[in-house]
Amino acid sequence: LQREEPTHFGAGPAQLPTEVLQQSAKDLINFNNLGLGIGEISHRSKDATKVIDDAKAHLKELMNIPDTHEVFFMQGGGTTGFSSIASNLSAAYLGKTGKVGTAGYLVTGSWSQKSLEEAKRLRVPTEVIFNSKDYNNGKYGSIPPESEWAGKVKDGQFSYVYLCENETVHGVEWPRLPECVTSNPDIELVADLSSDILSREIPVSQYGLIIAGAQKNIGLAGLTLYIIKKSILEDIKKASEEEIHKAGLPITPIAFDFPTVVKNNSAYNTIPIFTLHVMDLVFQHLLKKGGVKAQQFENEKKADILYTSLDQFPNFYNMPVDKSCRSKMNVVFTLKKEGLDEKFLKEAAELNLTGLKGHRSVGGFRASIYNALSVESVQKLANFVREFAEKNA
Ligand code: PLP
């Protein structure tokens, strides 16, 4: 089971470490010498429970997750997370205060916008604390200074404040968490880390809830990771279905009810155990590599190599994202000269550099340089970027 090291820059599902896939392939056929594949055993068996417990333990070690927080896994993806956040967190606020709160959204790109729309669709009261488009000529690509919007956070009665830590489509990443949110003990910070989880060290204790779909840095599509403050689980339990209904808030479907899933160790219903095992192998791979700190060092190097190459040709490459919030995972750029896009993609593909086309909603190019992509692969792309500009400028 061999392959050449891929140089695929797709935004997701993303390339995974070859060593992880080799082990997964073996375990799909015969796991732990059971004579059965991992997808063929009961999700309540001893072997499956060990996979769940191991994945949790390895993640706790990697992210230094404090005892105040719980880890669980649910089927679905980031989008399922959008819905489950809105219903679970609004119930938590009701349980804690007896009141209906407002969910505050910090919109910096299309994924936070989608999450906001889902909360609205579920009839959860929402407020857009800011939409970064309003500060940047109608385009995503910046994060307004906190001084411009911190007052709204201070004055609101927020059930939670939501942000997407890395906007995969627009290449905008929060450089640090907003202090006006993290310093307020009455506000729960909810963050979507689908495309940058485990790419850098983060202070888990400052989040009420972290969600991350698996298919970028941590595995295959189909499973979502949740890290939640335990007190939020208790608050959700305090609100009865009758009270939630009376308050006009959405009732969470049972398979996505956070306390129910946690109580059943992520196996209330059939958990895709193979998918979770792949995730755990990614965690183990990262631990062997030196943990998140080592990965962060490598990711910073990769981003630096690529951005430096693009920045060298300011008359040729257009960089739409403000330097202060450039993503270290999704590098977005366009060509200033018209008519060269197809040529760029074709010549890149001839060098086996694939997955570079920008999202259909924004065009141009996007190089996703997730954890599994090596420094050498990014260097190959950076060399191509330089040579292409020199030849075509
Ligand atoms: N959030 C972010 C940051 C994403 O990048 C994506 C998908 O790319 C999603 C959410 C949606 O994930 P899914 O397709 O698993 O629902």
Phi-psi sector, 317: left (phi>0), alpha (psi -120 to 50), beta = beta
Residue 10 in domain: no
The predicted-structure confidence for 218-245, as pLDDT tens digits, reads as follows: 999 999 999 999 999 999 999 999 999 9
8 Å CB contact between 162 and 85: yes
Same domain assignment for residues 343 and 271: no
pLDDT tens-digit map of 185-199: 999 999 999 999 999
Domain that holds residue 281: 28-286
Residue 363 has pLDDT above 90, yes or no: no
pLDDT at 157 exceeding the cut of 90: no
- The reply to whether 385 falls in a domain is yes
Say if residue 178's pLDDT is above 90.
yes
Nearest-CA residue for atom 15 of ligand 1: 77
Indicate whether 278 and 162 sit together in one domain: yes
Determine, yes or no, domain membership for 12: no
Structure tokens at 391: 């030849």
310 and 322 in a single domain? The answer is yes
Q: What is the pLDDT of residues 247-266, one digit of tens each?
A: 999 999 999 999 999 999 99
Is the distance from the beta carbon of residue 192 to the nearest atom of ligand 1 less than 6 Å?
yes
The pLDDT of residue 362 is above 90: no
Same domain, 231 and 317: no
- 329 and 196 Cβ atoms separated by less than 8 Å: yes
111 CA from centroid of ligand 1 (Å): 7
319 shares a domain with 338: yes
- Which of 168, 223, 224 best tests ligand 1's pocket when mutated (most atoms within 8 Å of CB)? 168
d(CA 62, CA 77): 22
Please report, to the nearest 10 degrees, the dihedral formed by the alpha carbons of residues 48, 51, 57, 59 taken in order: -130
Task: Kindly report, residue by residue over 311-328, the tens digit of the pLDDT.
Answer: 999 999 999 999 999 999
Q: What angle do CA 76, 60, 194 make, to 5 degrees?
A: 35
Nearest CA, atom 6, ligand 1? 78
Residues 273 and 332 in one domain: no
Number of C-alpha atoms within 13 angstroms, CB side, residue 192? 34
Query: Which tens digits make up the pLDDT trace of 103-148?
Result: 999 999 999 999 999 999 999 999 999 999 999 999 999 999 999 9
Residue 362: strand, helix, or coil: coil
Closest atom of ligand 1 relative to the 224 alpha carbon = 15
Q: Is 213 in the pocket of ligand 1 (CB under 6 A)?
A: yes
**Phi/psi class of residue 137: alpha, beta or left (left: φ > 0; alpha: ψ in -120 to 50)?**
left
The mean pLDDT value of the chain amounts to 97
Q: Is residue 305 located within the same domain as residue 189?
A: no
| Per-residue pLDDT at 156 exceeds 90 | no
Same domain, 264 and 359: no
87 and 230 within one domain = yes
267-313 tens-digit pLDDT? 999 999 999 999 999 999 999 999 999 999 999 999 999 999 999 99
In the chain the beta strands, taken as DSSP E runs, fall at: 69-75, 102-107, 126-131, 158-164, 166-167, 172-173, 189-192, 209-213, 223-229, 317-318, 330-335, 365-368
- What's the confidence (pLDDT) of residue 33? 95
Q: If we measure between CA atoms, which residue out of 102, 67, 91, 70 comes closest to residue 187?
A: 102
- Provide the domain count of the chain: 2
Q: For 185, what's the count of Cα atoms within 13 Å in the CB-facing half-sphere?
A: 1
User: In terms of domains, do 135 and 260 share one?
Assistant: yes
Both 255 and 303 in a single domain?
no
- CA 42 vs. chain centroid, Å, equals 29
For residue 241, the domain's CATH number is 3.40.640.10
d(Cα 369, Cα 171) in Å, to the nearest integer? 11
* Element (DSSP H or E) covering residue 294: helix 291-311
Q: Which tokens in the block code for residue 151? A: 């007052």
Looking at the fold, whether 270 and 375 belong to one and the same domain comes out as: no
The answer, yes or no, to whether any atom of ligand 1 lies below 6 A from the CB of 168, is: yes
Check if the beta carbon of residue 209 is closer than 8 Å to that of residue 188. Answer: yes
| Rounded-to-integer distance, Cα 198 and Cα 286, Å | 9
Is residue 320 lining ligand 1, measured as CB closer than 6 Å? no
Give a yes or no: residue 7 inside a domain. no
- Compute the average pLDDT of residues 340-356: 97
> In the structure, what pLDDT confidence band is assigned to residue 155 with cuts at 50, 70 and 90?
confident
pTM above 0.95, yes or no: yes
